[in-house]
Structures are given as C-alpha cells and as structure tokens.
Amino acid sequence: MAGASCAIRGTFFDFIDDPWKHIGHEQDAARFIHDGLLVVKDGVIVDFGTFADVSLHYPNLPVTRLPNRLILPGFIDGHIHFPQVRVPGAYGNQLLDWLQTWIFPEELKYSDRDYARTSARYFFDALLSGGTTTCLAFTTSSPVSTEEFFDEAARRNVRVIAGLTGIDRFAPDDLLITPDEFYSESQRLIERYHRKGRNLYAITPRFAVGCSGEMMDRCRQLKLEHNDCWINTHISENPSEIRTAHYHFPGCDDYTHVHEKHGLLGPKFTAGHGVWLSNDELRRFSKAGAAIAFCPLSNLFLGSGLFRLGRATDPDNPVRITLGSDMGGGNAFSLVRVLEEAYKVGMCNNTMLDGSVNPRDKDLAEAERNKLSPYRAFYLATLGGAHALYLDDMLGNFDKGKEADFIVVDWNAGQHAMRWRQSLIVEGAGPETIEQAAQLMFGVMTIGDDRNIDETWVAGKRSYKKTVEAPQF
C-alpha cells in the first residue's frame, strides 16, 4: 500500500480486545501509552510502544510531537450514504416517505458526473474533519456515482468499501436499475476498483423492499463469483418497512430469512439498523458471522426506534457490531455524535430493562451491556468496527503491520462546558492513567463533537487540521 512515512510521539489510546468480554475490568481490553512512539513507513505501522523503548531502535528518526492530545485509531463508519451528503436534516417524514420525498430526487442528480465529483470532495472533507478514516458506503444505482466515489477515495488514499447500489422497484424510474444491468455493471466496477489501492468493493442490494427476488439472486451470483467482495444492505429499520418487506417476500418467515434464502447472510455481510430484529434473528446473525451497523443518530432522527445493543452483545450469541452515521438519515458525520446518541439509546432502553415500568421486562444483565462506557464506545468506533467489517487484519488499532490511520483528539475543544468538565479529571498536560484517558473520552463523546478532532492522519500523512477558535464576551 502506498503511503507516507512518519514518527509520532504522544499519548496513545487504542484497543486490543472487545471490552464486552471484560465486564468489570474493561480497561484490560484497552491500551494506553502515556509517552509513546508510533513509527510509520509507507503508510504502515512498523513499530509502536513507549518512546523510551521504541526510540532506541531509531536513533536518527525525525519525530513529530503532538503534546496535550490523545491519539486514537481513525474512526470507522459502517453505514453511510455518499449521495446524501447535501441533504442531512430533511424534515418530517419516517423512512419510506422520507426516501420518496427527499432522498430519491437528490440521488438522481448523481448520474451527473460534475455533481457527483463535487459531492465526493464534500463527502471526504466532512468525513476527515469528523475523524472518520474508513467507511462502508452506499452510492446510487448510477455507475457514475460509484466511479466518482472510488476515484476521490483513491485521491485521498483512504480505505473504503462501497459499491453500485441496486434498486429495481419503489423508486423513481430513473433511479431504478434492472437486475441484468446491475449484474453487468457490478462486474465491471469490481474489476476496475476492488483491491485497487485502498478501495474495496461491496455488492450492494439497497434493501429488500426495493429489491426484487431476481435482484437478490443476482447479488447471490455476484457473491459466488467474487467471494472476496463485501455485501452491504439495510435490515429491519422501521415497522412499516418490515411489514412491506414481509408482504413482498411472502415465503420468508422474517426479514433475516430474505437474506438467508438468497445466500447473502454470512461473513463480510453488513446490514444497517436491525432495530426491530427478534432475538432469534440476532442469534442467526451471530452464527453466520454477519454484522449489524448500529445507527443511533439516524434511528432517532427518523424515529425508527431503539436498537438493543445489550441484546446484540449477549455473550452466548454476540453479533458483530459496527457504528454507522447513516448520514443523511443521521444528522451528523462525526462518530463522536453517533456515540453520544448510542449512549442515549442504551440509557432509554435501560429504563425498560430495570423493571420499573414493567417488572416482566427486567433484565439487568442486558441492561449492563447496554451501558456505553468509553471503552465500549471507542472500541466500536475503531477495532470493533474493523472486526465487524472483516478489516481488523488491516486496521483498527496500533498493532505493527496495520495501516496508519489515526486521529488527534483535543479533549478540551467544543462547547464551553467541555473545558470545565474535563478539568475535574485532569489538569495541565493530560491523562496519566488509562482510566483518566477513558473519562476524558467519555466527555468527548457526550459533550463534544467534530471540534474535538484536531487532526486526522491517513496512511501516515496528515490530511486534516482544525484551526483554533476563541470566543469574545
């Protein structure tokens, strides 16, 4: 992989395991190096550890110091729509109406190459300024949008997964693509982009409501012919959508069965939302090694419902979970804001699970798993997302051999309340223990936003730097 070389000295915080496996001592899943050194060659991490240890081996290496900051792996967004970059915050409709009224008309514009190219620049600007360095993205049914997405990703040298987005019913005619055309265009785009530079390809049936059985069969065929490719779709977002899907696939017992029947559920399969999945469907996701993208910003903005994270992390049947902004269904790009809402979803679920509303719903073990500690939160945003997307051999933490995508967090930036809150945890030069680092990062996820991302580095090169602001009273 092409990339830059650098050596970064600072305070590092990343993950080496899943914190849900370490209940009561979650810090065992994390790694904190107060004075660390990260050595990157051609975009890949070649050494990492304490400055005292690692620097011995590199006596003449020029070192970039990043003081008063926490350095984390870049965030991973497991569910986002490239052609919705200009229309977040659309008013007043739940999923199916919202698609027809706001989204499909906008997505139609992406068959225009200039519009798609300009939007691709916007998209990656927004991603990088929010600290996201990898995403699994939808494009449109127009190959133009897919091409412009991959071309811009290559110019930025970011690791992305995306694909032509198939829909053959329930959308404006010009947005539909026939199963045959979807198949042949997908073939062409896989040849052109998959594993070229950092681009990876996902076979992408938009969602079962918009995809006929024939379209789903074409997806199965593509997966059989290109087993190395990913699969990206939606599932069980909204009750009306679920009823509609059930109506159009009468032979299927539930929404998950639609994907099982068409041979799609398995490793490298990711479906957005899963808000209303039954316990049985979650177990089948777990067994299949399939992933769910938890999109709390969007689930609240579109009123879809509260995803049961504590149920999906059942230790007997753990489902692979990645976070998704689902921008434009979500109303922000930064995973920091996604984590804020993920925390709130867990807290709202827990008012049911503590039995105070209905004693029959009491489940304190599930409630505990719903609590999004900073360890769990930033695991999901980094290594957990990489694990869910089958990218953890390439990225997700600071292990040697991984790609050097990372962010530089200013724990004091953002709204004015931030600084005073954080001063109760540390003064001056910053955290000295893993627990302090975690508490600061909890402040970032609950009080912060994209302003806390001071720098974003991609494959060893600084690709974004925030400027300073100061208020006047």
Residue 91 or 360: the one with the smaller Cβ distance to a second copy is 91
| CA–CA distance, 274 with 35 (Å, rounded to integer) | 41
Tokens (6 digits) for 153? 């990703």
Q: Phi then psi for 77, rounded to 5 degrees?
A: -105, 110
Residue 256 in contact with a second copy, rule: CB under 8 A: no
Which position among 74, 88, 205, 385 is part of the footprint of a second copy (CB under 8 A)?
88
Q: Which stretch binds a second copy (CB under 8 A): 132-140, 176-184, 209-217, 446-454?
A: 446-454
Residue 254 in contact with a second copy, rule: CB under 8 A: no
Residue 92 in contact with a second copy, rule: CB under 8 A: yes
Closest of 227, 270, 232, 236 to residue 254, by C-alpha? 236
Residue 247 in contact with a second copy, rule: CB under 8 A: no
3-class state of residue 37 by DSSP: strand
Give the bridge partners for 45, in sequence order.
40
Residue 313 in contact with a second copy, rule: CB under 8 A: no
Quote the least distance from Cβ 149 to a second copy, whole Å.
16
Q: Which stretch binds a second copy (CB under 8 A): 12-20, 38-46, 218-226, 444-452?
A: 444-452
Residue 40 or 327: the one with the smaller Cβ distance to a second copy is 327
Which position among 169, 287, 420, 429 is part of the footprint of a second copy (CB under 8 A)?
420
Residue 260's alpha-carbon distances to 248, 268, 294, in angstroms, are 15, 14, 20
Which position among 227, 279, 423, 433 is part of the footprint of a second copy (CB under 8 A)?
423
Residue 105 in contact with a second copy, rule: CB under 8 A: no
Q: Which stretch binds a second copy (CB under 8 A): 41-49, 179-187, 310-318, 333-341?
A: 333-341
| CA–CA distance, 385 with 132 (Å, rounded to integer) | 12
As to burial, measured by CB atoms within 10 angstroms (0-12 exposed, 13-18 middle, 19+ buried), residue 59 is: exposed
| CA–CA distance, 167 with 203 (Å, rounded to integer) | 12
* Binders in 287-306 for a second copy, by CB under 8 A: 300-306
* Binders in 116-135 for a second copy, by CB under 8 A: 119, 122, 125-126, 128-130
Helix-helix angle 335-353:434-447, to 10 degrees: 90
Residue 224 in contact with a second copy, rule: CB under 8 A: no
Residue 433 in contact with a second copy, rule: CB under 8 A: no
Residue 25 in contact with a second copy, rule: CB under 8 A: no
Is residue 354 within 8 A of residue 362, CB to CB? The reply is: yes
